[in-house]
Amino acid sequence: MPIARPAAPIALEAVELRVLHLPLVSPFTTSFGTETVREVIVVRAQTAGGDGWGEIVTQQAPLYSSEYTQGAWDVAQRYLVPALLDAGTFAPEQVAGLLEPFIGHRMVKAGLELAVLDAALRAEGRPLGEYLGATVDRVPSGVSVGIQRSPEALVETVGGYLDEGYVRIKIKIKPGRDIADTAAVRDAFGAIPLQVDANSAYTLADADILAELDRFDLLLIEQPLQEDDIVDHATLAARLRTPVCLDESIVSDKAAADALALRAASVINIKAGRVGGYLEAVRIHDRCRAAGTPVWCGGMLETGIGRAANAALAALPGFTLPGDVSASGRFYTRDIVAEPIVLDDGHVRVPTGAGIGVEIDPVALDDATVERVLLRR
Ligand code: OSB
Ligand code: MG
């Protein structure tokens, strides 16, 4: 369902942007690289009715998508934040339209929209989950496991997460680290809910190898081919028994509509950052729900800000598969929110406080800040 009750307008007075460096509890390796420190931008929207918080989920380098942190930092200050400050008073639902003239930069748009939405909802005392249409008070928690030194090391790491209670495992794969890694996890743990994520590391020429994954009864394979390989994904999907799920390719509701029409995906990973905001994410959810296509909530190593918002999004009824909505402790020893997201019986609670429902820990925020700017009207 579209947003049932829009939020009241806010009067935007200033926007503070910070680049944070948050050390990861362990290196996170995907087919496109290894991260040891999460570089991320936090947004504080200062309004007449109070502050709101958002997060721009770009990574340091443009390896997952074309967006990257210093590019986001530049475009936010040069174009996107000034456009919002010029608009002055507006409702959160207007943010996307105000920013639409600027092409791309969806993660930046999403972070700005979330900060405005959080300010508006806090002023009204409304939780984000209720606003978006959440129908449950907690969501099943899956975990995304990076490529490890060896299949044996992977089994040990996955075992640790299962012991913590995670209800679904996703392992990262790449050419040469696919079949044996998946087989090792299946052999060690039996019929656990298991899926793989290739982060665009294959081409259609690898179809025979990818078809070998069919024997593992995976929930899905995520983004085997490149972002713009929609037709190739459809060709591949027709050859595989494993459901194909798109992540990188789904940059908007329109992209989701096209992928469904072309049968390029039978499952969709929804990430608010990748699609330009939580409101666009709800539109994709609504479309997929109407089409009977399962969706799940992806992650971008969010701080407690985006993690709380993701828990709210994942509580919508079309999110029928566990998401990458894990505990703060999966990535960080010290989150920047006063109430880190925790795992409880394999689930994460949907915050019930106003807005994103978590408070910022000002000391942790300052300690992680490496760059800071305040833009005023
Ligand atoms: O492909 O889902 C992905 C992290 C960064 C960039 C892309 C991806 C990921 C993850 C981690 O898999 C998801 C999480 O935040 O837990
Ligand atoms: Mg992915």
Under 8 Å between Cβ of 203 and 225? yes
Distance in Å, CA 250 to ligand 1 centroid? 14
Quick one: which ligand is closest to 297's CA? 1
200, two tokens: 């665009």
Using one digit for the tens of pLDDT, what is the confidence trace for 35-68?
999 999 999 999 999 999 999 999 999 999 999 9
Q: Which of 80, 82, 72, 75 is nearest to 107 (CA)?
A: 72
Closest atom of ligand 1 to 326 CA is: 16
What does the pLDDT read at residue 2?
79
Residue 52's DSSP bridge partners are 45
125, two tokens: 């005392």
Quick one: which ligand is closest to 170's CA? 1
Catalytic choice (109, 170, 174, 271): 271
Domains of the chain as residue ranges with CATH: 10-125+361-376 (3.30.390.10), 130-349 (3.20.20.120)
DSSP string, 72-130: HHHHIIIIIHHHHHHH-EE-GGGHHHHHTTS-S-HHHHHHHHHHHHHHHHHHHT-BHHH
Q: pLDDT under 70 in the chain at which residues?
A: 1
CA distances from 64 to 36, 113, 275, 305 (A): 16, 22, 14, 21
What does the pLDDT read at residue 4?
86
Length of the chain as a residue count: 377
Candidate of 246, 248, 301, 321 to mutate for ligand 1, largest count of ligand atoms within 8 Å of Cβ: 301
Contacts of 123 (CB under 8 A, 6+ apart): 8, 10, 47, 49, 50
For the chain, the 3-state helix, strand and coil shares in percent, each to the nearest 5, are 40, 25, 35
Distance CA 297, CA 307 (A): 11
Closest atom of ligand 1 to 269 CA is: 2
Neighbours of 91 (CB within 10 A): 14
What does the pLDDT read at residue 3?
84
Quick one: which ligand is closest to 268's CA? 2
Contacts of 161 (CB under 8 A, 6+ apart): 143, 145, 169, 330
Residues near ion ligand 2 (CB < 5 Å) are 197, 222, 247
Under 8 Å between Cβ of 197 and 173? yes
Distance in Å, CA 144 to ligand 1 centroid? 7
Distance in Å, CA 101 to ligand 1 centroid? 28
Q: pTM for the complete prediction?
A: 0.98
**Whether residue 170 lies in the annotated active site:** no
**Whether residue 271 lies in the annotated active site:** yes
